[in-house]
């Protein structure tokens, strides 16, 4: 079992590839569809995700795994092929969002905690039987001058570790995603404040993983990059982001972890790619460092698709382009001139 988990984790971060986060819950995909003026129906969700999973250029070359929402894990493409099979045909690994979303953390005004431990084992058994080989749990950390509290961090880290431990017990690789938000209101925090909070979060997460006997060789860490809030008056260059981010990771992430796959968190497409490229081009690190982007892989594709079937090919070209650019960034071989290749 241990060997299998380690192999899956290593495959998820294989060279030049990263993970597509396509696990938007129905509330979140509604926001994405609202932005292009299409209705949030099961049919539209299926059509859009089929477009993504049939993008050969992206899926075969630069996507190692896809995180699915529960509904999508059980869905079929128009021709009856299951999405799980479509993903496997592209030599990528299907995974699933295992948490139940974030809720108010009682006694902690302004903070939230991710729920979903109740019934988790039974859900994971079903997901595994349906083809999911890895899972994801996202803890959302609010950041401002006063928050997060240490007990808020601890509650989220404890849940992440409990989830990771159950996953590994069942032969599933857990993606451990603690996200310090870049857009928590008022979102004017500095990069230094983000470094301090991200440090506390990662330290607590790894303490909890240790306490819950989680095999570090069999997880993927999905953290935020260290960034200023989106309304901070001083935004940072890729050199600054990479310096702050790598310093924190080196201090708090054990080298036993095989891979770090960043979330994009609301960065623009180019920001997410150029920051990842700067990290990989400039630093020697003990882990493979890649992407597990949702918005930064999908935003431009979604916009071009716009719910219109005649736009499918152009939307797929755009998705393949972003995947290729991020694949180059994992190798430290991206520069802005390559963006023109589309
Ligand atoms: C794709 O969105 C994921 C699910 O979010 P909801 O539970 O809010 O629907 C999300 O966890 C995502 O995997 C990560 O935030 C990474 O996505 P971004 O867009 O930040 O790269």
Rounded to the nearest angstrom, the distance between the alpha carbon of 34 and the centre of ligand 1 is 17
Is 264 near ligand 1, meaning CB less than 6 Å away?
yes
∠ Cα 263 206 68 (to 5°): 35
Spans of the chain below 50 pLDDT: none
First to last CA, the chain: 43
pLDDT at res. 202:
99
Distance in angstroms (rounded) separating the CA atoms of residues 142 and 153: 9
Evaluate whether residue 195 is within a structural domain: yes
Evaluate whether residue 342 is within a structural domain: no
Nearest-atom number in ligand 1 for the CA of 67 is 13
Is 296 near ligand 1, meaning CB less than 6 Å away?
yes
Q: Do the beta carbons of residue 246 and residue 279 sit within 8 Å?
A: yes
Per-residue pLDDT tens over the stretch 71-99? 999 999 999 999 999 999 999 999 999 99
Distance in angstroms (rounded) separating the CA atoms of residues 288 and 337: 25
pLDDT at res. 341:
83
pLDDT at res. 306:
98
Q: Is 222 a catalytic residue?
A: yes
Evaluate whether residue 224 is within a structural domain: yes
Evaluate whether residue 211 is within a structural domain: yes
Nearest-atom number in ligand 1 for the CA of 264 is 21
Distance in angstroms (rounded) separating the CA atoms of residues 159 and 314: 41
pLDDT at res. 342:
78
Is 32 near ligand 1, meaning CB less than 6 Å away?
no
Residue 182 tokens, joined: 């870049």
Nearest-atom number in ligand 1 for the CA of 179 is 15
Atom 13 (ligand 1): residue with closest C-alpha? 21
Is 265 near ligand 1, meaning CB less than 6 Å away?
yes
Rounded to the nearest angstrom, the distance between the alpha carbon of 140 and the centre of ligand 1 is 10
Distance in angstroms (rounded) separating the CA atoms of residues 99 and 80: 28
The total of structural domains in the chain comes to: 1
Q: Do the beta carbons of residue 182 and residue 224 sit within 8 Å?
A: yes
Distance in angstroms (rounded) separating the CA atoms of residues 288 and 331: 10
What are the backbone angles phi and psi of residue 197, rounded to the nearest 5°? -70, -45
List the one residue out of 223, 271, 215 whose CA is nearest residue 249.
223
Q: Do the beta carbons of residue 149 and residue 24 sit within 8 Å?
A: no
Strands (E), the chain: 18-22, 63-68, 93-97, 102-104, 112-114, 134-141, 173-180, 220-221, 259-262, 288-293
Q: Which of 67, 97, 291 to mutate to test the pocket of ligand 1 (most atoms within 8 A of CB)?
A: 97
Evaluate whether residue 341 is within a structural domain: no
Q: Which of 24, 70, 177, 195 is catalytic?
A: 177
pTM, 2 dp: 0.98
Q: Is 10 a catalytic residue?
A: no
Is 23 near ligand 1, meaning CB less than 6 Å away?
yes
Each as own residue / partner, the long-range contacts of residues 143-149 (CB below 8 Å, 24 or more positions apart, any chain) are 143/180, 143/181, 143/184, 143/189, 143/193, 143/194, 143/197, 143/229, 144/110, 144/184, 144/185, 144/186, 144/189, 145/189, 145/193, 147/110, 147/111, 147/184, 148/111, 148/197, 148/200, 148/201, 149/108, 149/111
Q: What is the CATH number of the domain that holds 296?
A: 3.20.20.70
pLDDT at res. 166:
98
Cα dihedral sign, 321-260-262-275? negative
Is 182 near ligand 1, meaning CB less than 6 Å away?
no
Rounded to the nearest angstrom, the distance between the alpha carbon of 314 and the centre of ligand 1 is 24
Range of the domain at 160: 2-335
Classify residue 235 as left (phi > 0), alpha (psi -120 to 50) or beta. Answer: beta
pLDDT at res. 200:
98
């Amino acid at each position: 079992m241990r060997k299998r988990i380690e192999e899956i984790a290593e495959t998820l971060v294989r060279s030049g590839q990263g993970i597509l986060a396509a696990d938007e819950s129905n509330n979140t995909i509604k926001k994405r569809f609202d932005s292009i003026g299409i209705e949030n129906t099961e049919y539209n969700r299926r059509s859009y995700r089929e477009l993504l999973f049939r993008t050969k250029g992206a899926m075969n070359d630069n996507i190692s795994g896809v995180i699915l929402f529960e509904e999508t894990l059980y869905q079929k493409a128009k021709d009856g092929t299951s999405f799980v099979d479509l993903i496997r045909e592209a030599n990528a690994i299907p995974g699933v969002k295992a948490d139940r979303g974030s809720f108010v953390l009682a006694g902690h005004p302004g903070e939230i905690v991710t729920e979903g431990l109740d019934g988790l084992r039974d859900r994971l058994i079903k997901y595994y039987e349906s083809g999911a080989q890895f899972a994801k749990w996202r803890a959302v950390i609010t950041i401002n001058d006063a928050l997060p509290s240490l007990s808020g961090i601890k509650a989220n880290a404890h849940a992440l570790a409990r989830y990771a431990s159950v996953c590994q017990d069942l032969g599933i690789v857990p993606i451990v995603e603690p996200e310090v938000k870049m857009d928590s209101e008022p979102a004017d925090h500095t990069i230094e404040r983000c470094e301090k909070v991200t440090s506390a979060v990662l330290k607590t997460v790894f303490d909890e993983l240790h306490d819950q006997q989680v095999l570090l060789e069999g997880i993927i860490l999905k953290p935020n990059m260290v960034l200023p809030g989106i309304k901070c008056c001083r935004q940072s260059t890729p050199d600054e982001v990479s310096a702050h981010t790598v310093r924190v990771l080196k201090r708090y992430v054990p080298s036993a972890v095989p891979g770090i796959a960043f979330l994009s968190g609301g960065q623009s497409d180019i920001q997410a790619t150029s920051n990842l490229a700067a990290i990989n081009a400039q630093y020697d690190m003990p882990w493979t460092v890649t992407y597990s982007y949702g918005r930064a892989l999908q935003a431009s594709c979604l916009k071009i698709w716009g719910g219109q079937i005649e736009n499918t090919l152009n939307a797929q070209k755009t998705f393949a382009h972003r995947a290729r650019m991020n694949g180059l960034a994992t190798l430290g071989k991206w520069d802005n001139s390559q963006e023109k290749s589309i």
